[in-house]
Structure 1
Amino acid sequence: MSTSAEDLLIIYEAEAEQWASYLRSIVTGPVPEEGICCYDIATVTSKREDFLALGRYRCKLLVLSRGLLEGLCPLRRFFLARVLRPAAGVVVLLCGVESLAPLLEAVPVADGCLQVSSEQDAQVYLTAVTDIVQRGAQATVDIGALTARAAGLELVQDGKRLSAAAPPARPHMLVLPARVP
């Protein structure tokens, strides 16, 4: 699919490590394994090289958990604000949290990121990530909206959910890792 060694960055907090591993396992194949990086936000440093290197990934998948929100110190906020760009290349997985609002209050995430829920089917996650990796993060919000409509995802702009499609039906199957924190 891609020749880049920097396709997918999965950002998580320790309590969501199993989710990060699970997400890596479902996207490996369509996204080359060597192009996937799982990054524990607890290891963030203030080194400029880290921000630059991690910001080059085509798709950034943030596993938004309660622990990540509770641990948002100034350095982590700065990190997320720098790395979660451009918004057309960002997918936020709500994992044990109801909405993206607490993140948007703490971190200035640009308009147009995609939002998925841990209650959705694995195919939704895979579609969101592979579409971004295939087209690159250079796509505009309009393309993101088309992708969202096709995958049943929610597009978040100015901190508000935009209806990208009719409300998705409850999935027939709920996919969870072995242990959910």
Structure 2
Amino acid sequence: NTKDILVIYEQEAQEWALYLRSLFGHVVNKGGILLYNLGTSSLKHQELFSLPCYRCKLLILSCGLLNCLNRKRIYFLEQVLKPPDNVVILLCGVENSEILHEILTLDGGSKEISTDQEPEEYISVVTGIIQPDHQTSSDVNLSDVRGPPEKTDLNFKTEVLSETLEINEQSILVLPGRISCENPGEIFILLKDEIDDETLEVEFIADNQRIRIQPTSWNKKVKYMKALDFPAGPVYVNVYCGRVIRTTAQIDYYTALDEIEHIFEKVADPIAFTCQVS
């Protein structure tokens, strides 16, 4: 099959990924469209050779995707999302892609669309990449395309994210919000303003433990560190600048069993969901 469109998303934006596959199936063969769940995929090395071959890469940028980023996924996205002329970023519950560009080293030139736009605009942008001499969107019959997914849940999370940024004078964001006990990965500290590395410290509080660590600098506005090992449950985080707490956050550590329960909580009928998966 021709490799036409690669849609990269995180679980909370799955409905949007399915919607886009249905929509773009009107202009390319559906066999040429690949949906890639960044949160659950194995990120195999050979995929770094096959996925960049897609003529258009569309990233659904949601709060969940930002939350699932670690060093491995960041490197993966940096390798796949190029050249920039072939990249489209769909803003899904986030106001802009500024945070993404702070974390990832991406060349400029990618196109941005949002969930507020009309389906004809999505088709126009994508087909403009894969078929420069494409037919106009008005020539495509979209009468059988279902409406786009509801945006309520994503917008709610965006409001929470916005409130977090507004509350803290330094606008410091701690990611991710959930960490696997079996594979902790990394923690990222995103800064709106530059802060002296020597004065920045991160304190973790859990089970009568208080551990303070100085993060490593990823770039001027992004710091990171290896996530510490904690048992399942909430871990409270204080980010210090000097001796002053600039922001507080909570990270939920979870086990594999917790994650399975978390997934089942998201579906209305767990039994039907199990049958569907099997």
TM-score range relative to shorter protein? 0.7 to 0.9
Shift of 1:88: 0.3
Q: Which residue of structure 2 aligns with residue 64 of structure 1?
A: 61
For the residue of structure 2 that corresponds to 1:48, the secondary structure is coil
CA gap of 1:63–1:96, structure 2 versus 1, over 3 A, is same
- Taking only aligned residues, the RMSD between alpha carbons, in angstroms, comes to 2.1
Which stretch shows the higher mean deviation, 46-55 or 117-126? 46-55
Alpha-carbon distance between aligned partners in 2 of 1:43 and 1:109, rounded to the nearest angstrom? 23
Correspondence 1:17 to 2:14:
yes
Equivalent residue for 2:4? 7
Equivalents in 2 of 1:49, 1:176: separation in Å? Answer: 33
Alignment partner of 1:177 out of 129, 132, 149: 149
- With over 3 angstroms needed to count, the CA separation of the structure-2 counterparts of 1:177 and 1:46, relative to structure 1, is closer
- Specify the structure having the higher radius of gyration (Cα): 2
What do residues 10-44 of structure 1 show as CA deviations (whole Å, max 9, x unaligned)? 00000000000001111102111111000000234
| Superposition TM-score, scaled by structure 2 size | 0.48
- Corresponding residue number in structure 2 for 1:91: 88
Asked if residue 42 in structure 1 is aligned to residue 14 in structure 2, the reply is no
Greater Cα shift, 87-96 or 41-50: 41-50
Structure 2: give runs of 5+ residues left out of the alignment.
138-146, 154-278
Q: Secondary structure at the match of 2:95?
A: coil
Structure 1 counterpart of 2:115 = 118
Work out whether residues 13 and 62 of structure 2, in 8 Å CA contact, stay in contact via their aligned partners in 1.
yes
Q: Give the Cα separation in 2 of the matches to 1:37 and 1:110.
A: 23
* DSSP 3-state at the match of 1:5: coil
Corresponding residue of 2:106: 109
Alignment-derived partner of residue 25 in structure 2 = 28
Residue correspondences, number:
142
More strand per residue: 2
Kindly provide the CA deviation profile for residues 68-124 of structure 1, in whole angstroms up to 9, marking residues without a partner as x. 011111111011100000000000000000011010001112110000011111111
CA–CA distance in structure 2, aligned partners of residues 135 and 51 of structure 1:
26
Q: Which amino acid aligns with 1:70?
A: N
AA aligned to 2:72 is L
Q: Is the 8 A contact 1:88 1:113 kept in 2?
A: yes
Q: Which structure is higher in helix share?
A: 1
Residue 164 of structure 2 is aligned to residue 132 of structure 1: no
CA contact (8 A) 1:18 1:179 kept: no
How far has the Cα of 1:180 moved from its partner?
A: 5.0
C-alpha separation in 2, matches of 1:79 and 1:121? 30
Find the residue that maps to 2:106 and give its secondary structure.
coil
Q: Name 1:154's counterpart in structure 2.
A: none
For the 8 Å contact 1:91–1:116, the answer to whether it is kept is yes
Give the structure-1-normalised TM-score. Answer: 0.73
Higher relative contact order (CA 8 A, sep 6+): 1
Q: 1:60·1:90 contact (CA, 8 Å) conserved in 2?
A: yes
CA distance in structure 2 between the aligned counterparts of 1:121 and 1:109, rounded to whole angstroms: 27
Give yes or no for contact 2:93–2:151 (8 Å, CA) kept in 1. Answer: no
Q: Secondary structure at the match of 1:42?
A: coil
How many Å separate the matches in 2 of 1:86 and 1:44?
A: 22
